[in-house]
């Protein structure tokens, strides 16, 4: 394997980076271990929060530069790329603002006996983060932000196609005043990652990525009794039961499917529409998806850039072709131009089709017609995934009723693109385990030490 920046819009290899040596890897682990032993234990929560606040400020100050890096690494349109940097800054700022309350002692009311008891939260040690290419800054922020506040130190293995953004983030942490070893970027191979997980000095692993990667990492971590947080794939349902503004609902549906070039684990991918709205929705949705224009991701106003790599484009094209061969209808789109893939709609996807159970990581929507609320919920839950979901209805009681029944870690009602630094993110089933963001993101890799005083 090799770390390289290959512009997916042009196919040009811009730069390559050497994989870390074995000596370098051991030095990185040692540095993170020493930083935890000294720096994290000699600083207060407020002092660590001040450093994280500076990380937020540097993201904001360097937003354009950082955005341009990931445009050439993974093809995100520049406005979305800068927006991602700004969201990452907001996450760091959230943890800086709330650090002391998130880590405050928690009193326990004793059932009997005199004295008192409390829970005191403290760090575990060096943690390994394995990050994906689709949101290079945001994914790191939601892992590194809370854990550095806690006092853990970070070994960060980024995706092979994101070495430039990985280096830029490490530079930000150093420029913000974090000591050497608090945040260490490692260009590690898969074999070397197994070495890191097995190392007794490393106390936990967080991975965002594919099911396959998550299963492999969890297996290794399990052998070595390491805590893991897994944020994996999704095939999120978008359930339309009623609407008083179909145009606005369609606009939300398109955004939910093509944002980030359709490459988001919690994007809406299966559009489940009650039969009285199916035809009008499909007509308007088709027109809107066909109007999504592909363009140079480096230029302002581009709505749809290339997929992240030739491999990604090959995989998506093969999935669509296989779906059609197994009975699905290519309703619109389905055109490939280099690494670009047009906004696409599949209908008539049956339970016997591979597409019914797969995640499509690109701008491909599946649209289903159902009889009623009951059928919509059944279809929404008929998936191995359970990350996010979307419910559109004018009936508030129905919204909460359906939200209760959906098997997913997140439900968004009448809104898309509404993630926030304060909102926990995570899934169930094959979408992973654990939570990031909000207060729950600061409660995963922490020692909740019980102190009982007589």
pLDDT in tens, 303-327: 999 999 999 999 999 999 999 999 9
Active site residue 231: yes
Name the band, by pLDDT with cuts 50, 70 and 90, for residue 1: low
* Percent of the chain surpassing pLDDT 70: 100
Query: Which residue among 162, 265, 373, 436 is the active-site one?
Result: 265
pLDDT at 2: 87
Helix (H, G, I), strand (E, B) or coil at 107: strand
pLDDT score at 402 = 98
Q: Could you read off the pLDDT of 186-199 as tens digits, one per residue?
A: 999 999 999 999 99
Catalytic residue among 93, 170, 194, 231: 231
Q: What is the pLDDT of residue 48?
A: 98
pTM across the whole model: 0.97
- Give the pair of three-digit tokens for residue 411: 């439900």
* Nearest CA-CA partner of 369 in 379, 383, 360: 379
Known active-site residue 114: no
Q: What is the pLDDT of residues 32-65, one digit of tens each?
A: 999 999 988 899 999 999 999 999 999 999 999 9
Of all residues in the chain, the percent with pLDDT exceeding 90 is 98
Structure token digits, residue 241:
């039961």
The rounded Cα 113 to chain-centroid distance in angstroms is 46
pLDDT tens for 356-413 read 999 999 999 999 999 999 999 999 999 999 999 999 999 999 999 999 999 999 999 9
Task: Report how far residue 271's alpha carbon sits from residue 235's, in angstroms, rounded to the nearest whole number.
Answer: 10
Which structural domains are found in the chain, ordered by start?
Answer: 3-232+431-453 (3.40.605.10), 236-421 (3.40.309.10)
Q: Which residue has the tokens 């399990």?
A: 222
Average pLDDT value over all residues in the chain: 97
When pLDDT is averaged across residues 334-347 and rounded to a whole number, the result is 98
Distances (CA, A) of 85 to 66, 173, 239, 300: 7, 15, 30, 16
To the nearest 10°, the Cα dihedral for 438, 444, 447, 449? 60
Check if the beta carbon of residue 391 is closer than 8 Å to that of residue 411: yes
Residue 326's pLDDT is 98
What does each C-alpha distance from 25 to 42, 166, 174, 182 come to in angstroms?
25, 16, 19, 15
pLDDT digits (tens, 9 = 90+) for 139-165: 999 999 999 999 999 999 999 999 999
Q: Average the pLDDT over each of 110-114, 275-279, 348-352 and give the range with the smallest value.
A: 110-114
């Amino acid at each position: 394997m090799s770390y390289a920046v290959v512009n997916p819009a042009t196919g040009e290899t811009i730069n390559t980076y050497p994989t870390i040596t074995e000596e370098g890897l051991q030095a990185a682990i040692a540095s993170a271990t020493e930083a935890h032993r000294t720096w994290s234990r000699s600083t207060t929560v407020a002092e660590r929060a001040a450093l994280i606040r500076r990380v937020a400020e540097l993201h904001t100050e360097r937003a354009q530069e950082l955005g341009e890096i990931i445009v050439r690494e993974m093809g995100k349109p520049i406005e979305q790329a800068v927006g991602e940097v700004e969201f990452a800054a907001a996450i760091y700022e959230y943890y800086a603002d709330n650090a002391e309350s998130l880590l405050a002692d928690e009193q326990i009311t004793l059932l009997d006996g005199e004295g008192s008891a409390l829970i005191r939260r403290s760090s575990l040690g060096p943690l390994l983060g394995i990050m994906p290419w689709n949101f290079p800054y945001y994914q790191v922020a939601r892992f590194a932000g809370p854990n550095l506040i806690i006092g853990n130190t970070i070994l960060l293995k980024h995706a092979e196609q994101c070495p430039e953004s990985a280096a830029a983030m490490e530079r930000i942490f150093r420029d913000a005043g974090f000591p050497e070893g608090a945040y260490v970027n490692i260009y590690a191979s898969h074999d070397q990652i197994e070495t890191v997980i097995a190392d007794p000095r490393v106390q936990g692993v967080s991975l965002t990525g594919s099911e396959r990667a998550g299963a492999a990492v969890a297996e290794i971590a399990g052998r070595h009794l390491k805590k893991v947080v897994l944020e994996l794939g999704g095939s999120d349902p978008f359930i339309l039961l009623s609407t008083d503004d179909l145009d606005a609902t369609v606009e939300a549906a398109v955004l939910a499917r093509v944002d980030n070039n359709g490459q988001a684990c919690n994007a809406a991918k299966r559009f489940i529409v009650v039969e009285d709205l199916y035809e009008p929705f499909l007509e308007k949705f088709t027109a809107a998806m066909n109007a999504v224009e592909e363009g140079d991701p480096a230029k302002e106003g581009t709505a749809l850039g290339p997929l992240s790599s030739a491999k990604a484009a090959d995989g998506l094209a093969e999935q669509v072709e296989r779906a059609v061969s197994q009975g699905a209808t290519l309703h619109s789109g389905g055109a490939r131009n280099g690494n670009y893939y047009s906004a696409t709609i599949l209908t008539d996807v049956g339970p016997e089709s591979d597409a019914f159970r797969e995640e499509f990581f690109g701008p491909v929507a599946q649209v289903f017609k159902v009889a009623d609320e009951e059928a919509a919920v059944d279809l929404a839950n008929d998936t191995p995934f359970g990350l996010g979901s979307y419910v559109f209805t004018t009936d508030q009681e129905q919204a909460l009723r359906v939200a209760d029944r959906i098997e997913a870690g997140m439900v968004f009602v009448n809104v898309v693109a509404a993630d926030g630094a304060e909102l926990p993110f995570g899934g169930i089933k094959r979408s992973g385990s654990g939570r990031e963001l909000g207060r729950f993101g600061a409660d995963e890799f922490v020692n909740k030490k019980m102190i009982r005083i007589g």
